[in-house]
């Protein structure tokens, strides 16, 4: 594999005159170790991003074995990043909600370069090789900066890329840890034989590469740094790194992808089921109780209805002619078929005379005090009213007689101080009434009575 | 009287349907804004995934799936809450009406079930539609530009 950068130039949109990288050409082969040094802002990171196809060069080409990477569709560029390049960034770049081994396995799972089992086996292997076998299940938040960086190294290598780009991978680490990481990278580079580009501002580190370049204001120049070859072994066992640790047996345990997720879902479902069952049980209980209350209430209403409708009889007792169109009405209420007392709030009585097809109300007033207030009905209670019935053009169902309706509304209760148990009963009494200004002879001309025509004739309820 | 009650109730129903529709639109905008913010906050993470070789479609799928799962769970919670409100209603005002002789009747079980399924599907679709624009936008940004943003 050869990755060839040809006259790469990168200008950023907001400053078109200024180029972060200017006409850089570089060839990278498998197994090579190249270092690039330069001061901050010299364009090193931009060059690395272009080499990894993370940003499009403004000018120039990036050729992978002769194919221009930027002429490919984005999906194939993603495949290029997945299979050909490993990237180590200058900042902690682990996904904080995944464990170390999950982080390492992510690129393999995303790129579908291998089966999940294989990916995890390799991830455990790599974790062991960077000396973190016992931290495989730790979360990034609980790891030191050096440990996180080593996980990032393992992650960059999961897909066995032919090229590893490390952009100041140790920038925020102390000197010893920095050396540890670079030692590790160099050792891995030798065993895995990937092409390795190390960007650093540390000349000492840069010297360890076979080829060294210096980046200055966007341009790349070869340097003749004397190479340091034999230095890496100055510390026999670097602290913290236990190279080639065998992976623990647990690492070979079957992989359970998304185990945490399913665990969470299970907990959630169990909690939801418990709450649901509790609510359901409470609901059933409340429903039973309420149904009982509704039945009780219905029974009470039925009893009240029986009391008000069947045990209380009411009708017109008499109508007397007071002359000049004035009449006196006497109605009665009577308790029948039981001993319990019945209390009635005085009827609100109204009188109507039929005119044509409509009922015309005529003035009616109570004639005595008994017609107001609450009365206990033990035997028979009478109510007297006076009303005027001087109506013209009344309907004559019987010749020369008015058709009169008395409507009474009363509240009935079994107790004198009703507490919700009140029934509203409506009564209609119908009578024929002889008008005051029609002489008996006139009536008798069309109707036959045994004596004088009566003042009123009761009608059956209708 | 019955007819006028029925008319009043159907007017109320239309009003509530209109209100719900407006609310859905407002929610759609809200979800979209929310996911714009969420995705923007994760630009660096998305950029990292892309640098590791994630396909643009994979990133989009992750964002959309997350949105759909979140809003569907929200819908589920809303369903639970709604059921609780309905139960409370049935056991309070419904009980009061039952005492007065007006029985409280639940809608048919099929209507309730279809309504529940529709609600969940609707909320998931709401997430999908709301998060589509942010997900589509992030798909078009170069990985390096994503990584360079100050993620947190």
Where are chain A's structural domains? 2-255, 258-310, 313-458
Cα separation of A93 and B98, whole Å? 64
The larger pLDDT score, comparing residue A241 to residue A409, is at: A409
Q: Do residue B99 and residue A293 have CB atoms under 8 angstroms apart?
A: yes
**Contact call for A93 and B56, based on CB within 8 A:** no
Q: In which band, very low, low, confident or very high, does the pLDDT at A207 lie, cut at 50, 70 and 90?
A: confident
- Domain A2-255 in CATH 1.10.3720.10? The answer is no
**CB of A290 less than 8 A from some CB of B:** yes
CB pairs under 8 A between A and B: 77
Q: Is the Cβ–Cβ distance between B10 and B108 less than 8 Å?
A: no
Tokens of A85: 């390049």
Verify whether the Cβ–Cβ distance B48 to A297 is below 8 Å.
no
Res A256: pLDDT: 59
Closest by CA to A145, choosing from A104, A180, A167, A173, is: A173
Q: Is the pLDDT confidence value at A415 over 60?
A: yes
Decide if B50 and A54 are in contact by the 8 Å CB cutoff. Answer: yes
Domain extents for chain B?
31-148
Where is A169: in which H helix or E strand? none
Residue A226: pLDDT band (50, 70, 90) is low
Mean pLDDT score, A374-394 = 87
- The answer to whether A37 touches A215, Cβ cutoff 8 Å, is yes
**pLDDT band at A388, cuts 50/70/90?**
very high
Q: What is the Cα–Cα distance from B76 to A103, expressed in whole angstroms?
A: 31
Q: In angstroms, what CA-CA distances link A272 with B66, B80, B88?
A: 21, 10, 18
Other CB atoms within 10 Å distance of the CB of residue A13: 6
Joined together, the tokens standing for residue B124 give 């998931």
The answer to whether residues A109 and A120 touch, using CB atoms and an 8 Å cutoff, is no
Check if the beta carbon of residue A62 is closer than 8 Å to that of residue A53.
yes
Q: How far apart are CA A153 and CA A107, in angstroms?
A: 12
pLDDT digits (tens, 9 = 90+) for B63-109: 999 999 999 999 988 988 988 898 888 888 888 888 887 888 888 88
Longest dimension (CA), chain A: 152
State the best of B53, B80, B151 to mutate against chain A, taking most chain A CBs within 10 Å: B53
Nearest-Cα distance to chain A for B36, in Å, is 20
CA angle A208, A213, A215 (to 5 degrees): 130
- Nearest-angstrom CA–CA distance, A422 and A342: 11
pLDDT at res. A236: 40
* Residues A270-275, mean pLDDT to the nearest whole number: 92
Mean pLDDT of chain A: 86
Question: What are the residues facing A402 on neighbouring strands?
Answer: A433
Q: Flag if B49 and A290 touch (Cβ within 8 Å).
A: no
Residue B6: its pLDDT value, please?
A: 86
pTM confidence score: 0.69
pLDDT, tens digit (0-9, with 9 covering 90-100), for B116-134: 999 999 999 999 999 999 9
- Asked if A112 is an interface residue toward chain B (Cβ–Cβ < 8 A), one would say no
Given a cut of 50, whether residue A13 has pLDDT beyond it is yes
Model pLDDT, residue A227: 56
Give the residue from chain A lying closest to B103, CA to CA.
A294
Taking contacts as CB-CB distances below 8 angstroms, the residues of chain B near A105 are: none
Q: Where are the beta strands (DSSP E) in A282-378?
A: 312-323, 326-335, 342-355, 358-362, 364-366, 374-377
> A340 pLDDT band (50/70/90 cuts)?
confident
Q: Which residues of B3-35 are buried (b: 16+ CB within 10 A; e: fewer)?
A: eeeeeeeeeeeeeeeeeeeeeeeebeeebbebb
Q: In the predicted model, is pLDDT for residue A10 greater than 60?
A: yes
Contact: B147, A54; criterion CB under 8 Å: yes
Q: What is the mean pLDDT of residues A124-130?
A: 91
What's the average model confidence in pLDDT over A358-367? 92
Decide if A404 contacts A428 (C-beta within 8 A).
Answer: no
- The pLDDT of A108-117, averaged and rounded, is 88
Which residue among A95, A107, A298 places its CB closest to the CB of B53?
A107
At A252, the pLDDT band (50, 70, 90 cuts) reads low
Put simply, whether A407 touches B (Cβ < 8 Å) is no
Closest Cα of chain B to A7: distance in Å?
20
B127, B78 in Cβ contact below 8 A? Answer: no
Interface touch A75/B84, C-beta < 8 Å: no
ipTM here:
0.77
The region of weakest confidence among A170-179, A327-336, A342-351 is A170-179
Q: What is the CATH number of domain A313-458?
A: 2.60.40
Residues of B in contact with A140 (CB under 8 A): none
Give dist(CA B116, CA B111) in Å, integer: 8
Is any Cβ of chain B less than 8 angstroms from the Cβ of A283?
A: yes
Mean pLDDT for all residues in chain B: 88
Give the confidence band of B110 by pLDDT, cuts at 50, 70, 90. very high
Q: What is the pLDDT of residue A39?
A: 86
Examine the pLDDT at A66 and tell me if it is beyond 70.
yes
Q: Which residue of A has its CA nearest to B142?
A: A55
């Amino acid at each position: 594999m050869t990755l060839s950068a040809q006259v790469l130039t990168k200008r950023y949109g907001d400053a078109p005159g200024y180029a972060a990288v200017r006409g850089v050409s570089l060839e990278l082969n498998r197994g090579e170790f190249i270092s690039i040094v330069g001061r901050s802002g010299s364009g090193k990171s931009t060059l690395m991003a272009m080499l990894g196809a993370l940003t499009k060069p403004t000018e120039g080409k990036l050729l992978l074995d002769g194919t221009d990477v930027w002429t490919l569709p984005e999906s194939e560029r993603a495949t290029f990043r997945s299979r050909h390049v490993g990237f180590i960034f200058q900042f902690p770049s682990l996904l904080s909600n995944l464990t170390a081994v999950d982080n390492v396995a992510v690129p393999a799972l995303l790129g579908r370069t291998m089966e999940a089992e294989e990916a995890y086996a390799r991830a455990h292997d790599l974790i062991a090789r960077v000396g973190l076998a016992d931290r495989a299940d730790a979360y990034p938040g609980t790891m030191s900066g050096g440990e996180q960086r080593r996980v990032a190294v393992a992650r960059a290598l999961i897909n066995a890329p032919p090229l590893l780009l490390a952009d100041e991978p140790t920038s925020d680490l102390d000197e010893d840890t920095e050396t540890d990481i670079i030692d590790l990278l160099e050792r891995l580079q030798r065993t895995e034989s990937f092409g390795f580009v190390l960007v650093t501002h540390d000349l000492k580190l840069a010297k360890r590469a076979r080829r060294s370049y210096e980046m200055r204001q966007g341009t790349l120049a070869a340097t003749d740094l004397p190479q340091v070859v034999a230095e890496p072994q100055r510390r026999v066992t670097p602290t913290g790194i236990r190279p080639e640790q065998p992976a623990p047996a647990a690492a070979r345990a079957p992989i359970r992808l998304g185990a945490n997720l399913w665990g969470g879902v299970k907990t959630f479902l169990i909690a939801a089921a418990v709450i649901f069952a509790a609510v359901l049980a409470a609901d059933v209980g409340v429903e039973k109780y309420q149904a009982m209350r509704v039945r009780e209430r219905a029974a009470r209403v039925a009893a009240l209805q029986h009391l008000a409708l069947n045990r209380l009889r009411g009708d017109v007792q008499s109508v007397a002619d007071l002359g000049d169109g004035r009449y006196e009405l006497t109605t009665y209420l009577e308790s029948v078929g039981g001993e319990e007392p019945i209390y009635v709030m005085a009827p609100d009585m109204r009188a109507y005379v039929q005119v044509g097809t409509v009922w015309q109300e005529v003035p009616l007033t109570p004639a005595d005090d008994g017609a107001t207030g609450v009365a206990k009905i033990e035997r028979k209670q009478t109510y007297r009213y006076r009303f005027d019935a001087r109506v013209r053009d009344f309907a004559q169902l019987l010749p020369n007689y008015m058709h009169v309706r008395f409507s009474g509304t009363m509240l009935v209760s079994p107790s004198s101080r009703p507490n919700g148990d009140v029934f509203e009963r409506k009564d209609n009494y119908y009578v024929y009434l002889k008008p005051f200004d029609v002489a008996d002879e006139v009536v008798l001309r069309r109707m036959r009575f045994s004596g004088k025509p009566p003042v009123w004739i009761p009608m059956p309820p209708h | 009287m019955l007819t006028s009650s029925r008319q009043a109730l159907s007017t109320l129903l239309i009003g509530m349907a209109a209100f719900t529709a407006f609310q859905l639109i407002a929610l759609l905008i809200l979800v979209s804004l929310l996911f714009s913010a969420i995705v923007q906050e994760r630009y660096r993470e998305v950029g990292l995934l892309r640098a590791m070789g994630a396909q643009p479609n994979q990133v989009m799928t992750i964002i959309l799936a997350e949105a759909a799962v979140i809003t569907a769970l929200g819908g589920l919670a809303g369903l639970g809450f709604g059921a609780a409100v309905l139960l409370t209603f049935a056991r309070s005002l419904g009980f009061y009406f039952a005492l007065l002789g007006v029985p409280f009747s639940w809608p048919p079980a099929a209507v309730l079930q279809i309504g529940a399924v529709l609600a969940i599907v609707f909320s998931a679709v709401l997430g999908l539609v709301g998060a589509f624009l942010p997900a589509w936008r992030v798909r078009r940004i170069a990985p390096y530009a994503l990584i360079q943003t100050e993620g947190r």
